[in-house]
Chain A
């Protein structure tokens, strides 16, 4: 059996699953002061009456790292940055102390200028003075040659609690994002480590020996031990949990829009031929743009409990939630009240619902019922308009080959999958607004926890091979090794697939549950003075997010 547990903004949801079936589900309000306590209470409740020994694994979607940042509990971080010539970033928005060191590596990975150990020594002194324990080391083009990051790490590591090197977090080229990603990783390290230690102790105490996995923003899981090294990956996994929940409950191999309509917000996701769409570079965490792989998601301030007002004779919904719906004793009319009036929800105080819809209707010269219909229609329209704007942007993403420009994939959703409280009530309205079939599952109330429970282990690696230099690199794995001059693109692809599998297994994946996918590959002849000197090969491979078992209803 698998336990899936999702910590949201207001609730902890937990499910106990056997294969694809929910055996037991728990929903508790969250204790913001004590994440562990919230998790623990939910687990105990979930397991009462079920044998602990039958638990195969526990999947957690946790807000520990996110909260550390949002609530200013992140550790002070000492940054050592080598920025070389280029844009004048000062990175003043990250880290307690920033030491800029000289030296430079170019785009081919050639070291142009060496490090100055003196400067790094001065950094160590400053960090010591300020009692900084966590450190992030990032050099430009470290994903092409990590030698400077490694040398700095070796020089500073003694006496520090944690050192993050930029190249280990992503193989992508984007120096500013690498800096912010490394900063966040170092900043949340201690909070996550403490959480991890506590939960491990608690599991031992309770006699639970199942391995623990943590959900990532890319919709996959990572073992708790590995997450300790890359806690930044566990940030903002909430949307990924609901995405995986929808995917587990409603499968498709078509282009689709996925919606999670909650009380306050609506999260929007996309599938391309049934495969999740990712953020092109990485997720935004607060003000920081990162290289953390993430499922593409956009959140708009529109939900069942959004406040409604009439402005200039038009219905305005959201963007804020001003309390519970009027029918539930709240201060303002909401879409939920409209659903009550239309008989789509059989809860709440009907009289109050009619009362507030009637009041809005008077401003619009319409009946309470007409007003309720108009409100839901406006909600559907707003979602559709946002989705269309996002699609325009997605379909305008830059492409770099003639083939892609002329024959590339355009995302054209054929269906809508929706979960969340108002899903059932809104499905026909969305169907009409989009002119597409709209599906909703029966058990949407625990979709997030189900998503966490059924998520597979995922990972991505970037392989870079330069046969004229005779070197192969996989930055995320710390691999830099010689290759023969005749090393081919096919060999590169095979090597990437093999390394990816090994990596996935080390992160907690089982051989049987893995589907390796080459997501990008290119090979360029390198010509110098009209002679072919070698090949420049780039391969990106991933284990894409997927579900362990098909979800089955009762």
Chain B
């Protein structure tokens, strides 16, 4: 019998009875062939690979991360609670030292879900990784976390959630937003005033292959992680950089994903996107799992894999190098850049329009980040949807000082009900409050 070198917890929850809609990419069939492949390979019999059932996340877990409008219960399906719960369970099994590493193969995905949730965008309602991390921080300790998002789409939801949190480094490697949904993820999105430099985007050109991804990993991601020294590394393991993915334009492979996982060496990996359900997912998932288990993945290949055909052009190689140089230099100079931008200011505002494509809702919001010498500072979101809701949300960060705590509660009390809903998330005391109308 085969034996894993690392004990890996596999939370495999394909939700075979849940779909966004019958023909939606996020449907029952999505992990069917992955299950077939994993079963046929005899994964369940490998010593050291443990199948673990998800738990169901609680509303409180969701509220640590999101302002669901009007309430959590209104926005989530059972499957969302379980997907987040699956990730939580994966991380818990690592924290409890039951396993060395864990892979949450759960659906639906989460990395497009931002702070404010009016509905589904990019197939996501709940940011699975963020809900997982905040639950673990609450239950265990305030870990320093690095999230490396290897989905082909920019992890704009995770970026938004950790925008002003320097204890959570977010690195997103994705197809350049000028060529793909959601359009964001440029190099100059570099974090809020409390965490400038800790939100790192690496937009790669279309047709990037194994060479480009691994170059990026070796020359930017790993050196930054070395310097950041996180307690844990989380991989948002989207699989749509694959050459056979129907909605993206990259040339990555199962071998490439396995090697990337091997070198990145994440403590927890969580499935994100990836919709080549027959040609990619069965092989990519197998490759990631074997890499995490410290096993030989060199024979994992797609049936139509052709190394020569998938070789990236020299133009792409050159482009990737330029992006990598740029990103790494900005990281090196982050303190300098930060002072230049924020010295002398007491707050920063940014206004955005956010489109919930899956549910066809348009949101307009203004975020306000206060600069505080003693903590990351209070932040607020003033947001309205074209469905007629207008909300105000206040966040007291985990490291909030007593002044900011008091200011947060005062602001909550003083905010009038011209808003449909007002929310307060006090992460110092793990308290969530809301007032206003309970919508539909």
Contacts and interface: CB of A to CB of B under 8 A. Distances in A.
Do the two chains bind? yes
Interface stretch (A82-90, A245-253, A416-424): A82-90
Contacts of A175: 40-42
B54 interface: yes
Interface in A97-115: 104, 106-108, 112-113
B13 A400 contact: yes
A53 to B, nearest CB: 49
Interface string A521-532: 010111101111
A244 B245 CA distance: 52
B367 interface: no
Contacts of A177: 42, 45
B290 A281 contact: no
Contact of B78 (A402, A525, A527): A402
B78 A400 contact: no
Contact of B45 (A88, A106, A174, A397): A174
Contact of B16 (A112, A401, A531): A401
Contact of B299 (A85, A113, A173, A281): A85
Interface string B20-62: 0011000111001101110111101100000111101000000
Contacts of A89: 2, 42
B53 A527 contact: no
A405 B11 CA distance: 13
A406 interface: yes
A405 B82 contact: yes
Given A87-B290, A405-B53, A536-B29, A398 B12 contact: yes
B296 A140 contact: no
Interface size class of B (residues with CB under 8 A): 35 or more
Contact of A401 (B15, B295, B298, B304): B15
A335 interface: no
Contacts of B79: 402
A175 B2 CA distance: 13
Given A400-B14, A405-B13, A106 B32 contact: no
A176 interface: yes
B386 interface: no
Given A89-B2, A406-B56, A398 B51 contact: yes
Contacts of A172: 39
A396 interface: yes
Contacts of A23: none
Given A88-B296, A88-B299, A522 B16 contact: yes
Given A88-B296, A398-B12, A174 B28 contact: no
A279 B360 CA distance: 48
Nearest to A398: B51
B36 A86 contact: no
B17 A401 contact: yes
Nearest to B54: A405
A87 B17 contact: no
B286 interface: yes
A86 B56 CA distance: 33
Given A400-B12, A400-B14, A405-B13, A86 B300 contact: yes
A281 B38 CA distance: 14
B15 A107 contact: no
B18 interface: yes
Contacts of B44: 174, 280-281
Contacts of B52: 396, 398
Contacts of B28: 524-525
B225 to A, nearest CB: 29
A141 interface: yes
A399 interface: yes
Contact of A524 (B1, B29, B41): B29
B211 interface: no
A401 B35 CA distance: 13
Contacts of A532: 22-23
Contact of B29 (A86, A88, A280, A527): A527
Nearest to B46: A87
Interface in A68-101: 85-89
Contact of B40 (A174, A406, A530): A174
Nearest to B44: A281
Given A174-B40, A402-B79, A529 B246 contact: yes
Contacts of B299: 85-88
A107 B37 contact: yes
A87 B13 contact: no
A527 B23 contact: yes
Given A85-B300, A87-B42, A107-B40, A530 B13 contact: no
A193 interface: no
B427 interface: no
Interface in A272-315: 280-281, 287, 289
A107 B40 CA distance: 8
Interface in B146-181: none
A525 B303 contact: no
B278 interface: yes
Nearest to B10: A398
B384 to A, nearest CB: 32
Interface in A326-373: none
Contacts of A85: 283, 299-303
B408 interface: no
A409 interface: no
Nearest to A140: B40
A228 B17 CA distance: 41
B193 interface: no
B256 interface: no
Contacts of A281: 44-45
B43 to A, nearest CB: 8
B400 interface: no
Contacts of A400: 12-16, 35
A395 B329 CA distance: 52
A4 B125 CA distance: 61
Nearest to B11: A398
B56 A107 contact: no
Contacts of A104: 303
Given A108-B278, A289-B45, A525-B22, A396 B36 contact: no
A86 B33 contact: no
A403 interface: yes
Contacts of B37: 86, 107
A112 B303 contact: yes
Nearest to B42: A176
B377 interface: no
Given A87-B42, A405-B13, 6 more contacts: A86-B40, A176-B2, A400-B15, A400-B16, A405-B56, A531-B23
26 contacts: A85-B300, A85-B301, A85-B303, A86-B37, A86-B299, A87-B2, A87-B300, A88-B299, A106-B303, A107-B36, A144-B36, A172-B39, A173-B40, A175-B40, A176-B2, A396-B53, A398-B52, A400-B12, A400-B13, A400-B16, A400-B35, A401-B16, A405-B53, A524-B16, A525-B23, A530-B23
Interface of B: 1-2, 12-18, 22-23, 27-29, 32-33, 35-37, 39-42, 44-45, 51-54, 56, 78-79, 82, 246, 278, 282-283, 286, 290, 295-296, 298-304
